[in-house]
Amino acid sequence: MLTLYHWEPNANSGKPMLTLAEKGVPFESHYLDLLNFDQHSPEYLKINPAGTIPALVHDDFVLTESTAIMEYVDEAFAGPPLRPADAEERWRMRWWMRFFDQYFAPALSMIGWSVFVGPSVRSRDPEELRKAIERIPLKERRIAWSKAIYNTFSAEELEESRRRVAIGTRCLEDALSKRKWVAGETYSLADINGFNLAYAAPLSQPQACNEELTPHIMAWLRAIYARPATRAVWAMGRTDLAKRITYLVS
Ligand X SMILES: N[C@@H](CCC(=O)N[C@@H](CS)C(=O)NCC(=O)O)C(=O)O
- Which residues bind to ligand X, rule: CB under 6 A? 11-12, 34, 39, 51-54, 65-67, 136, 141, 144
If the CB atoms of residues 67 and 188 are measured against ligand X, the closer one turns out to be: 67
Quote the CA–CA distance of 151 and 11 in Å, as a whole number: 22
If the CB atoms of residues 52 and 214 are measured against ligand X, the closer one turns out to be: 52
If the CB atoms of residues 39 and 161 are measured against ligand X, the closer one turns out to be: 39
Please state the closest distance from residue 19 (CB atom) to ligand X, in A: 13
Please state the closest distance from residue 130 (CB atom) to ligand X, in A: 15
If the CB atoms of residues 118 and 184 are measured against ligand X, the closer one turns out to be: 118
DSSP letter at 235 equals T
If the CB atoms of residues 168 and 184 are measured against ligand X, the closer one turns out to be: 168
Please state the closest distance from residue 6 (CB atom) to ligand X, in A: 9
Please state the closest distance from residue 119 (CB atom) to ligand X, in A: 16
Please state the closest distance from residue 102 (CB atom) to ligand X, in A: 10
Please state the closest distance from residue 174 (CB atom) to ligand X, in A: 25
Would residue 124 be called left, alpha or beta, if left means φ above 0 and alpha means ψ between -120 and 50 degrees? beta
Quote the CA–CA distance of 203 and 83 in Å, as a whole number: 29
Contact 198, 106 (CB under 8 A): no
Q: Is 62 exposed, middle or buried (0-12, 13-18, 19+ CB in 10 A)?
A: middle
If the CB atoms of residues 12 and 19 are measured against ligand X, the closer one turns out to be: 12
Quote the CA–CA distance of 191 and 104 in Å, as a whole number: 14
Quote the CA–CA distance of 99 and 103 in Å, as a whole number: 5
Cα separations in angstroms, 209 against 81, 145, 200 = 30, 27, 9
